[in-house]
Amino acid sequence: PCAPFLGFARSAFVASKPSSARPNWLRVGLAFATSAALWAILIRQHHEDVLEYERRKREGEHKCTGCS
């Protein structure tokens, strides 16, 4: 019943197209800062994982019968 009127519906949230001539520098900075923080967390976690892998690898190579 309402299908013909859907083409005339207007969004209440977007009244005009965003202008790319004047970017919102706060949002741009926040996006870059978030990306940098996520990369820093990822790199730190990877470094910790590599250290843990190497520690377990060294423990696995130790085959002394007196220790177990």
Residue 19 DSSP one-character state: P
For residue 1, is pLDDT > 60? no
Report pTM.
Answer: 0.58
Domain boundaries, the chain: 41-67
pLDDT tens for 16-52 read 777 788 999 999 999 999 999 999 999 999 999 999 9
The two tokens of residue 45 are 């976690």
Separation CA 18–CA 24 (nearest Å): 10
Separation CA 50–CA 6 (nearest Å): 55
